[in-house]
Amino acid sequence: MKVVLTTLNAKYIHSSLALRYLKKYCKDLMPIEIVEFTINNHLLDIVGQIYEKRPNVIGFACYIWNIEMTIKIIDLLRKVLPETKIICGGPEVSYDGIEFLKKHQAVDYIVLGEGEETFYQLLERLQSKQEIKDIVGVIEQNKKVDGNRAVVVENLNTIPFPYQEQDMDGLKDKIIYYESSRGCPFSCQYCLSSATKGVRFFSIERVLKELEFFIQHNVRQVKFVDRTFNAKKSHYIPILKFLLKQECQTNFHFEVAVDLLDEEVLDILSKMPKGRVQLEIGIQSTNLETLESIQRKNQWEKIVGNVGKILSFHNIHMHLDLIIGLPKEDYRSFAKSFNDVYALKPHMLQLGFLKMLKGSGIAQNHQVDEYIFMDSAPYQVLANRYISYEKIRFLQIFEEVFELYYNAGRFRNVTEYLIRLENNDAFHFYEKLTQYWITRKLHLVAHTTKALYQYLYDFCEVYEPKEIKIIKELMKFDALTTDKGSIRPAFLNWNEDLYYEANADFWRKNWAGKYIKNYKFTTWRDIKKKYHIEFFSTDIFTLIKSGVIIEEKTAVLFSLEQEEIQYQKLEVKDFLQGDCHDL
């Protein structure tokens, strides 16, 4: 019997952990092939590639991002492979399996919940042509079975490690998904974790051995899918201590409840090599009524303290998350939540829109708060009794603007200055920018990075014309500290050529050696690639730090080679070496 397991990932860099678990768990039964696609692949290409393998059984992993396209693929495969058994599993079919089968007759079986043990039994029966009806966690087309018993694997250590040597070449450019636990200690009503109780853990000895495997294969990123990585201290502390001791380039991404971190953990995190660990923290809202309604408790003072401490280490990239559309969170309440979290200055502030996930508490009780939402995936909320669709639509564009001007890592200094001019009301600034965006119909077109500078400059000419000189200085600094200094809009009046002779002497006569260790002149092309000197009309460092304007012309040397651009102030006397140019 030939079995193909497949799914449509959201992006090429993603990979399916679930399919690898199933393949490894069932390897003693029969050979199983994994074929992964993305939602950007063409429908007929996917169908054609699966058809060419002539499988007896096809298993689909179904998620919110791929279910609509998956159903179309299944319907086509049923036409060209009428005898093939088609099995679906995953969260998109686990919570309404019977209804899904009634609606989609091309599907033969649904596997509910965690599929390793159940899928094994199903394949075993199909191979021996036995009846399926008594397998807990399996629903068969047109058969009456108990459809409400999703299976969980109680002893996770019975599940084999899903990755093997021959997988790694094909995964070298992709994110590796991994878990050290299943379940969550919390019951947040917007999340699928609210549908199951308790947390189960893989043994720590096993986890450390498997992490060593990834390190040995120089994996770019290992993304833990544990719902709350720091649910149990005796489990996660050894993992962090292990990662601290390693010599590797691999990045490890964890989703944590930051208010549960104590001084011992913070001390470990403070010592992590830069880039070793990345943290994602779901704040979701700072409205106490909202948090109570979704059964979530945030210890705000601890969140503020711990986020501030971790950011002060300058070695850990941090994402904070908010959700738009939660119960009891109206437009102004969301503005406050946004400002509260923005004030923490995370590297990224991700704004998500509530989705009516099947099996979540909010979905089961959506009538209470008068939710209006998409009937098909991704089931995104359109309105509720607290916030209108008009406001939701505005916030969708707001999120796009914020992604371009904050989360992309550009414009940090100029937007911070503009927010100071708005009495530090970050939401109000981005609200104004979004309104301008809509007026110019910029939400209807694609944008180059260079164009983003022009849009922001045009916005400032309208709203802050008296500040244009300072805004241009900050834009120049931001441009030179992102994108390796390669984006230099002409309207910013770059002045390197104005001091061409002094520049030439600085590099050719090795005066740069005072600022650059082991500097030696090579070629002008090499210099231009690695460095840039820019003059500012103000003390740019004081301006960035405190917003104070000091009229003092300043020369800055930017080193462009590193991932994170380095810069330092040049002493004018060193730069000009007695030249009479008027700076």
**Are 151 and 112 in contact, with CB atoms under 8 Å apart?**
yes
Q: Are residues 243 and 180 in the same domain?
A: yes
- The mean pLDDT of 11-28, rounded to a whole number, is 95
Residue 506's nearest CA partner among 571, 582, 583 is 571
Alpha carbon distance 182, 227 (integer Å): 7
What pLDDT is stored for residue 506 in this prediction?
Answer: 86
Enclosing H/E stretch for 372:
strand 372-373
pTM of the model: 0.93
Q: Are residues 225 and 354 in the same domain?
A: yes
pLDDT above 50 (res 559): yes
What pLDDT is stored for residue 563 in this prediction?
Answer: 83
377 lies in some domain: no
Q: Are residues 474 and 500 in the same domain?
A: no
157 lies in some domain: no
Domain boundary among 341, 359, 377: 359
What pLDDT is stored for residue 511 in this prediction?
Answer: 85
Q: Are residues 123 and 221 in the same domain?
A: no
Q: Are residues 469 and 505 in the same domain?
A: no
149 lies in some domain: no
Residue 487's nearest CA partner among 522, 449, 524, 516 is 449
Alpha helix stretches (DSSP H) within 263-347: 263-270, 288-293, 300-313, 331-342
Residue 284's nearest CA partner among 251, 263, 257 is 257
Buried-state track 241-268, b at ≥16 Cβ within 10 A, e below 16: eebeeeebebbbbbbbbbbebeeebeeb
What is the DSSP-derived secondary structure letter of residue 423? T
At residue 144 the predicted structure's pLDDT band, cuts being 50, 70 and 90, is: low
Q: Are residues 462 and 522 in the same domain?
A: no
Beta-carbon neighbour count of residue 128 at 10 Å?
8
Domain boundary among 80, 106, 140: 140
At residue 194 the predicted structure's pLDDT band, cuts being 50, 70 and 90, is: low
Residue 57's nearest CA partner among 107, 101, 94 is 107
Domain of 195, CATH number, reads 3.80.30.20
What pLDDT is stored for residue 86 in this prediction?
Answer: 98
Alpha carbon distance 184, 226 (integer Å): 8
What pLDDT is stored for residue 415 in this prediction?
Answer: 98
At residue 575 the predicted structure's pLDDT band, cuts being 50, 70 and 90, is: low
For the ranges 125-139, 300-314, 337-351, which has the lowest average pLDDT? Answer: 125-139
- The mean pLDDT of 148-152, rounded to a whole number, is 77
Task: Give CA separation, 550 vs 228, 415, 423, 537, 539, in Å.
Answer: 47, 19, 21, 9, 6
Model confidence pLDDT, tens digit, residues 489-546: 999 989 877 777 777 888 888 888 999 998 988 898 999 899 999 999 999 999 999 9
582 lies in some domain: no
Task: Give CA separation, 406 vs 116, 270, 424, in Å.
Answer: 41, 25, 15
Model confidence pLDDT, tens digit, residues 29-74: 999 999 999 999 999 999 999 999 999 999 999 999 999 999 999 9
Domain holding 327, by residue range, is 163-359
147 lies in some domain: no
pLDDT above 80 (res 583): no
pLDDT above 90 (res 374): yes
The pLDDT > 90 percentage for the chain reads: 83
What pLDDT is stored for residue 133 in this prediction?
Answer: 79
Q: Are residues 478 and 557 in the same domain?
A: no
Number of domains composing the chain: 4
541 lies in some domain: yes
- The mean pLDDT of 96-115, rounded to a whole number, is 94
Arithmetic mean of pLDDT over the chain: 93
**Are 181 and 231 in contact, with CB atoms under 8 Å apart?**
yes
Buried-state track 90-120, b at ≥16 Cβ within 10 A, e below 16: bbbbbbebeebbeebebbbbbbbbbbbbbbb
At residue 576 the predicted structure's pLDDT band, cuts being 50, 70 and 90, is: low
User: Is the dihedral angle over the CA atoms 337, 339, 344, 348 positive or is it negative?
Assistant: positive
Model confidence pLDDT, tens digit, residues 422-470: 999 999 999 999 999 999 999 999 999 999 999 999 999 999 999 999 9
Q: Are residues 397 and 347 in the same domain?
A: no
Q: Are residues 240 and 339 in the same domain?
A: yes
Q: What angle is formed at CA 342 by the lines to CA 339 and CA 344, rounded to 5 degrees?
A: 120
286 lies in some domain: yes
Domain boundary among 125, 140, 155: 140
pLDDT above 80 (res 99): yes
Q: Are residues 48 and 169 in the same domain?
A: no
Buried-state track 162-178, b at ≥16 Cβ within 10 A, e below 16: bbeeebbeebeebbbbb
186 lies in some domain: yes
- The mean pLDDT of 283-311, rounded to a whole number, is 97
Q: Are residues 477 and 500 in the same domain?
A: no
At residue 367 the predicted structure's pLDDT band, cuts being 50, 70 and 90, is: very high
Q: Are residues 449 and 510 in the same domain?
A: no
What pLDDT is stored for residue 329 in this prediction?
Answer: 98
pLDDT above 60 (res 410): yes
Alpha carbon distance 161, 2 (integer Å): 23
